[in-house]
Structure 1
């Protein structure tokens, strides 16, 4: 065998082993727990091959083993393999108009750290906002390390058009061509020099929230759905057969800027009559009469916890958790103006959603952000529009196709989950040799 052929042979064997390590790790992850024999039966490899692969994953800290599992067949019981709750982890950082939320998940996808600060991010310079996010992220990493977790990558969830690490346009933040990944990485290095090599990625916040819903939200087998997030802006993402549909340039899903009325109010994007001018948080608060007392959430107001989400902070009534909490309180109390505001937002939302349903035919439409808590009042008028406009005739009012997002799934967790999924896809890249 020539030197070139020998080198190709070694490369082929290395590639196959790399693939099989991922296959075994993902199989245990998806099953929750499994024996070596169980994994071998699922993936079609020999028991000896699976044992060798599992031993490497155990040595590198991706798997743990404990107990005995009895299969009911002859032979010795096998030890149970589980994805490790220590070691490699994902760091997710969501930056929105009125808050920063940071999440750390382990390889099983469990939220282990959550830090959230409510603050107006539209006023400071982008670098200052990203520096604040880096400081919060550094605290989250320290908390994770106390639990023997090792974040191996960070992913930013950002509102607006995101491509190649750059926020091309985020109208509600006032950002244009901001190198978010570069600025965040530099700021994180300033706070934690030991994290200077931590890879940083980014994506649109609705995309990552949709992935969180797919991975952690309990979709009950639904793998094609439209996700719509009601924040200061209105974002959207489409998942088709379990995969995100990014569009030609990664900008698919900007449903908040679908025009409802060309002569409507001016939007920050420069157009008129965009959906978010009728159904975004600020529009809802204004229509409900809450804007009169509005102001940003108390600067620096924060919450923390292992897996907390949707927490509230003290501060002035307005956009953010306080304003939306007051809106929910008024709607639940039957306040006529608040109920009418949410109902009209639901009608306009249903009008726009009907076009998306006719275009993409999703199994479900999932409403997140402020829409989640308001769904009982949003759904009837939205269903009315959808039922009358969905050409398939398959949209039934009061059915389960229009549903609330899970409280355990948001953009920060989706961002952290994407990093964890990268580890599952190629554990060899994050193993002991990689750290040495």
Structure 2
């Protein structure tokens, strides 16, 4: 009989077990925010002696801090409070979108510590020029992070398009095709950091400008959905953390991501979630992707502004003006938003039938417009989703939180790599 099963990994030796348990303890403290050795032992199933040994190693390596005393209400001595350190390794997220570049640095707790945004029209600009600009902003953010005693573990680049193996296969709204974005950003960032090292250092700055940074990349809607999952604080109907939802990011285009049981559904090639290019009308207006009648031609930011009589390239100031006009009762503004809502509702009802998410979360441009978008979307969800779970009072259609942005999600992806294997990063720090 032929054996079609994948080979098993070799059994774990003592070093591998300790590596795993270090991550287990660090992640337990991270998830709780603050806790004690006894509580970590109870949650992890490790003995108290093992937890104490692992905690001491994590304290010595700078991953944890301890302070004060906490009383559990049970017999025994009070325990010291453990927290993830606010200094040391950090994650860096870089979001490049059509009309802005944002860089975010988070510490290992996921807290947003440094954020820089530059509003600029990236459409039609050479990819190398855009990535050079992103590298310059990132170098500035790293200098600020260094002054806070934060050291970058890596950089994750979020882009609005199809991204795989470090290459942007297609980003229609940027006009990018087959762009080796990881390589270009890593090269530009190395140069920008060397330039920064030649300038007089700011007080408190201790960054190692010579150490090259690993750059990874992915889709910006995926990163925004992860930020919502990790930091959004959304709950399901039973009050539990929301772990299965469809997330839409309204920008110039429309990005989508599906989270199932706390994990991204990436698809066979990493391209899942391109809901903005679901065809609404095959004879509709031509989309930058080459097809006709895509959803974003009816409900994307440019389409919304154009329908309201505003300049379609007005960006976020245009969205703010659209909201202002809608609040003032401007009929054209309200009609534009409601029209987009009807088309969104049509597509989202199909997605709800196909994937059965627990909720649909709308972010980006859609977040400030929810009071006008929600009724037409909900009407179609209620009428078209066969499960009957999407009534107007179900609360399943949500606006995103202010924490759900791609730059922070990207930075947190890097930070979570450290949490998953602290021993590797402890060794790197001592190299």
Q: Same fold (TM over 0.5)?
A: yes
Work out which of the residue numbers 387, 405, 416 in structure 1 matches 2:382. Answer: 387
Q: Give secondary structure in 2 for the equivalent of 1:17.
A: helix
The alignment status of 1:278 with 2:273, answered yes or no, reads no
Structure 1 residues 195 and 233, CA gap change in structure 2 (3 angstroms)? farther
The alignment status of 1:108 with 2:109, answered yes or no, reads yes
The answer to whether the 8 Å contact 1:188/1:196 transfers is no
2: CA distance between counterparts of 1:139 and 1:323? Answer: 28
Counterpart of 1:421? 416
**Structure 1: unaligned runs, 5 residues or longer:** 1-7, 296-317
Where do 1:29-428 residues align within 5 Å? 29-193=30-194, 194=209, 196-220=211-235, 221-291=241-311, 295=313, 318=314, 320-428=315-423
Q: Give secondary structure in 1 for the equivalent of 2:13.
A: helix
Counterpart of 2:202? none
Give 4+ residue runs of structure 1 displaced > 6 Å after superposition. none
Query: How far apart are 1:142 and its partner, in Å?
Result: 0.6
The answer to whether the 8 Å contact 1:380/1:398 transfers is no
2: CA distance between counterparts of 1:73 and 1:196? Answer: 48
Q: Give secondary structure in 2 for the equivalent of 1:431.
A: helix
Counterpart of 2:4? none
2: CA distance between counterparts of 1:430 and 1:73? Answer: 36
The answer to whether the 8 Å contact 1:188/1:195 transfers is no
**Structure 2: unaligned runs, 5 residues or longer:** 1-9, 195-208, 236-240
1: CA distance between counterparts of 2:210 and 2:415? Answer: 17
1: CA distance between counterparts of 2:355 and 2:170? Answer: 25
| Residues paired across the two proteins, number | 403
Query: How far apart are 1:73 and its partner, in Å?
Result: 3.1
2: CA distance between counterparts of 1:13 and 1:434? Answer: 22
Counterpart of 1:5? none
Q: Give secondary structure in 2 for the equivalent of 1:18.
A: helix
1: CA distance between counterparts of 2:268 and 2:77? Answer: 54
2: CA distance between counterparts of 1:107 and 1:341? Answer: 42
Query: How far apart are 1:222 and its partner, in Å?
Result: 1.3
2: CA distance between counterparts of 1:42 and 1:52? Answer: 16
Q: Give secondary structure in 1 for the equivalent of 2:82.
A: strand
| 1:146-171 CA-partner distances (Å, limit 9, x unpaired) | 11111111101100100011000000
1: CA distance between counterparts of 2:404 and 2:430? Answer: 30
1: CA distance between counterparts of 2:274 and 2:38? Answer: 47
1: CA distance between counterparts of 2:392 and 2:35? Answer: 42
Normalised by the length of structure 2, the TM-score is 0.92
The answer to whether the 8 Å contact 1:351/1:382 transfers is yes
1: CA distance between counterparts of 2:175 and 2:71? Answer: 60
Structure 1 residues 105 and 348, CA gap change in structure 2 (3 angstroms)? same
2: CA distance between counterparts of 1:416 and 1:396? Answer: 36
Normalised by the length of structure 1, the TM-score is 0.91
| 1:347-399 CA-partner distances (Å, limit 9, x unpaired) | 00000000100000000000011000001100000111111110111111243
Q: Quote the RMSD (CA, aligned, Å).
A: 1.3
Query: How far apart are 1:123 and its partner, in Å?
Result: 2.3
| 1:308-346 CA-partner distances (Å, limit 9, x unpaired) | xxxxxxxxxx1x221111111111111100100000000
2: CA distance between counterparts of 1:269 and 1:346? Answer: 22
Q: Give secondary structure in 1 for the equivalent of 2:283.
A: coil
1: CA distance between counterparts of 2:360 and 2:290? Answer: 27
The answer to whether the 8 Å contact 1:90/1:420 transfers is yes
